[in-house]
Amino acid sequence: MKPDSSERQHTAEAANVLEVKDLSAVISNSAASARRIEKLCMALKPGTLSTMIGPSGVGKTSLCLALMGWLRPNVRIVSGEVLFGTRPLLQMHQRQKQALWGREILYIPQSSATALAAPRNVVGQISEFAGDTAQERSERRKLLQAAFQRLEIPGFDEDRYPHQYSGGQLQRILISTVFCATPRLIILDEPTTALHPDLKTSVIEAIKARVREIGAAALVISHELPFFAEFSDQTIDLSASVPPAVKPRSVRPAAPLVGESRAAFKPQPMLTEPPRLAVGGLCIKAPSGRPLVRNVAFQVRPGACLGIVGPSGAGKTTILRSLLGQHGDAKGTIEVDGQRIPLHHSRRTVEQKRQLEYVPQSVKLHLNPALSVDYLIRRRLRQAGHDHSIDAVVDALEKVLLPADYRSKRSAELSGGECQRLGIALALASHPALLLLDEVTASLDPVNANVVADILDRHRASGSMAMLLVSHQPEIVARLASDVLELRDGQVVHPVRDNHAPSASREDVAGSVIYRESEPRQCVL
């Protein structure tokens, strides 16, 4: 006997892992910045990978958390239906929703800082689930070890802590949990922002193979549509569900990052000008004795930007941390404006600490969400001994293309791109000699990344400040860097020339960021 039409329709609906029907929601951090999503419809089928795109600040992460039953305080569902299989997720009790998290619904956040506890070793905290038996814990540990090998993550048996991994390695560690469970729905928030370009393809291919293997549905939140278009079974443009009147405020356009007409680097500072930063014989070891950085030396002159590139775990962020004095056992010398400074921050004077300012990949994680922009900038200006009047705050905002009325906003009300610009404003308020930039555009959509790059480029060119840029994005390195220091396994592969002349064209720089990690490369030290 053949099923009737109603039975066939029910079977087809049940075949979807997640189905969203005419969902309308309001995402608001304040009355002035409320964003409305209207009549969103989508269906995620087993064994498929879908990509959700949209401009920074449109509400992608907040909405996806709501779809798994985690409503942030600033999110309100107005109407619509969300079915997880055949279960109406929005109508479920909160305890029922929480029972799904980590087992049937797996969320991989963009930042490891929101998922990994600093005082616990990495393997221990991601291989243990509440309520597991000893046998289940042992089996999951074996699965995790295989996932570490599959994703090329080192140190499984070394009892490492989060701070002992690079940003790209931490991102892969979070992704490894996909291979230790059998969820029905996997939500990955910007899973490739900290990865070396050559690793992105292999990681996404591994995720897609795992999704097909267990019959799950994967939803990726990303700004990298050109990359994910090749792997996605469908693309969901969230901005299509946002009424035009309330779409995120557009930022002032900047010159394209890719395909620039300039074929060479920016003009270098005169050789006679003393370097802003001089690093010599820098060596850093892990607590286990494993070398992290080996005999690295370089100089950065005023108005120049040195790009540091290389695969994940090469030692790029370790160098930035050492410059900030976070590696007390480091060996070598660090000189700023010809003055040697202590290797550990506890031995540095207040003035020496202010000479180096750091802008991380995600500024938002480092800000108190309850504090206003006005308070944050005034405090930084006051600490640096500068004028902290309203005019000074407005001037600081204008330098990073933020309007004056943002003074009254809290940092929680800003989008990712706006937070990055605020982070730059806070760093510039100290008038530093050196600006340390760690993947500052990796988590931004192309428009906001373009604006941030343009802001940094203008400040580098107009002042005596020097910059050190760590990035996996070849277009950003080509846009900003005066020269490139390439690392592999903590050693310099492509050194800066002694005469500080341009060592390669922009095309060569872009190419050097995307070399194959398996390809042998001769060291030219």
Judge if 92 and 233 occupy the same domain: yes
> Which is nearest to 89 in space by CA: 71, 116, 69, 75?
69
CATH number for the domain that contains residue 65: 3.40.50.300
Contact 481, 467 (CB under 8 A): no
Decide if 143 is inside a domain.
yes
Q: What is the pLDDT along the chain (525 residues), one digit of tens a residue?
A: 444 444 434 444 448 999 999 999 988 755 456 778 899 999 999 999 999 988 777 888 888 989 888 888 778 899 999 999 999 999 999 899 999 998 899 999 887 777 888 888 899 888 877 677 888 888 889 999 999 999 989 888 888 888 888 888 888 999 999 998 899 999 999 888 878 777 888 999 999 999 999 999 999 998 887 888 889 999 999 888 887 755 555 444 443 333 333 333 444 444 567 899 999 999 998 877 888 899 999 999 999 999 999 888 888 989 999 999 998 789 999 999 999 999 999 999 999 999 999 998 888 878 888 899 999 999 999 998 898 899 999 999 999 989 998 999 888 778 777 888 899 999 999 899 999 999 888 877 778 888 889 999 888 887 778 999 999 888 889 989 989 999 988 899 876 544 333 344 444 444 444 333 333 222 222
CB distance 356 to 323 below 8 Å: yes
Indicate whether 237 and 350 sit together in one domain: no
232 shares its domain with 356: no
What gap in Å lies between CA 120 and CA 112, rounded to an integer? 13
Ramachandran sector of residue 468 (left: φ over 0; alpha: ψ -120 to 50; beta: rest)? beta
Distances from the Cα of 267 to the Cα of 210, 233, 249, 270, 434, angstroms? 48, 45, 35, 9, 19
Q: In this structure, how many other beta carbons lie within 10 angstroms of the beta carbon of residue 486?
A: 24
HSE (side-chain half, CA atoms, 13 Å) at 267:
4
Contact 416, 111 (CB under 8 A): no
What string of DSSP letters covers 30-61? SGGG-EEEEEEEEEE-TTEEEEEE--TTS-HH
| Assessment of whether the complete model's pTM goes beyond 0.75 | no
Per-residue pLDDT at 425: 94
Q: Does a structural domain hold residue 336?
A: no
Q: Do 129 and 177 touch, CB atoms closer than 8 A?
A: no
- C-alpha span between 279 and 283 (Å, rounded): 11
What per-residue confidence (pLDDT) applies to 496? 57
Q: Report the distance separating Cα 361 and Cα 195, nearest Å.
A: 12
- Structural domain includes residue 316: yes
The total domain count for the chain is 2
Residue closest to 159 by CA, chosen among 116, 134, 122: 122
Strand bridging mode 105-108 / 185-189: parallel
Q: Is residue 253 part of a domain?
A: no
Predicted local confidence at residue 378, as pLDDT:
95
Q: Do both 200 and 348 map to the same domain?
A: no
Phi-psi group of 497: left, alpha or beta (phi > 0 → left; psi -120 to 50 → alpha; rest → beta) = beta
202 and 310 assigned to the same domain: no
> Is residue 138 exposed (0-12), middle (13-18) or buried (19+ Cβ within 10 Å)?
exposed
Q: Which DSSP string corresponds to 227-258? A: HHTTT-SEEEEGGGGS-GGGSPPPPPP---SS
Query: ∠16-18-21 over CA atoms, to 5°?
Result: 100
Q: 320 and 224: one domain? A: no
Residue 471 lies in a domain: yes
Q: How far apart are CA 399 and CA 421, in angstroms?
A: 9
Find where tokens 């991380």 sit: 360
Boundary of a domain, candidates 248, 277, 310: 248
Same domain for 241 and 308? no
- Claim to verify: residue 182 and residue 75 sit in the same structural domain: yes
At residue 204's C-alpha, the angle toward residues 293 and 220, to 5°, is 110
Co-location of 306 and 213 in the same domain: no
Do residue 244 and residue 317 come from a single domain?
Answer: no
The pLDDT value given to residue 245: 56
> 47: exposed, middle or buried (C-beta count within 10 Å: 0-12, 13-18, 19+)?
middle
**Could you tell me if 27 and 41 are in contact, meaning their C-beta atoms sit under 8 angstroms apart?**
no
List the one residue out of 218, 204, 220, 177 whose CA is nearest residue 17. 218
Residue 7 is classified by DSSP as: H
| Domain coverage including residue 221 | 18-248
Q: Is there a contact between 450 and 478 (Cβ–Cβ < 8 Å)? A: no
428 inside domain: yes
255 occurs within a structural domain: no
Which DSSP symbol is given to 101?
B
CB burial of 406-420 (b: ≥16 within 10 Å; e: otherwise) equals: bbebbbbbbbbbbbb
Report the DSSP beta bridge partners of residue 333: 280
Whether residue 220 is found in the same domain as residue 317: no
Centroid of chain to Cα 361: 5
The confidence score (pLDDT) of residue 328 equals 76
Nearest CA-CA partner of 407 in 417, 396, 415: 396
DSSP state of 106: E
Domain contains 465 = yes
The pLDDT score that the predictor gives to residue 210 is: 95
The pLDDT of residue 40: 92
Return the pLDDT at 33.
Answer: 61
458: which residues sit within 8 A by CB, 6+ positions away?
none
d(CA 424, CA 418): 10
pLDDT of residue 511: 44
My answer on whether 317 and 234 are in the same domain is no
- Domain boundary among the residues 213, 248, 283 is at 248
> What distance in Å separates the CA atoms of residue 104 and residue 125, rounded to the nearest whole number?
19
